[in-house]
Amino acid sequence: MYFDNFSDFVQMGSHGSYVWSAYGVTAVVLLASLGYPIKRRRNLAKEYARRVKRESTITQNTKTEHSKNNIQKESESV
């Protein structure tokens, strides 16, 4: 289809509003399809880091508790 000027191109023979809204919706869907996995990956990475930190803290506390218990038992047996 040939257009004489840019205004005719934008109007597309009175179908411009449908054509450009379809392009807009398509662009939004494509951007969301690209953006959502990136955001989800970042959130999962943060969640994993929090979980590792929490578990390492729990492990350290458990080791500390065991050490205290062993020291108490040794001092009681002496």
Instruction: Kindly list the domain boundaries of the chain, sorted by start residue.
Output: 16-71
pLDDT score recorded for residue 46 = 95
| pLDDT score for 45 | 94
Backbone torsions φ then ψ of 14, nearest 5 degrees: 70, 10
Q: Is the pLDDT of residue 69 over 60?
A: yes
pLDDT tier for residue 20 given thresholds of 50, 70 and 90: very high
**C-beta of residue 40 within 8 angstroms of C-beta of residue 47:** no
Find where tokens 């218990």 sit. 69
Q: Supply the pLDDT for residue 59.
A: 79
- Give tens-digit pLDDT for 21-62: 999 999 999 999 999 999 999 999 999 999 998 888 887 777
Give the global pTM: 0.54
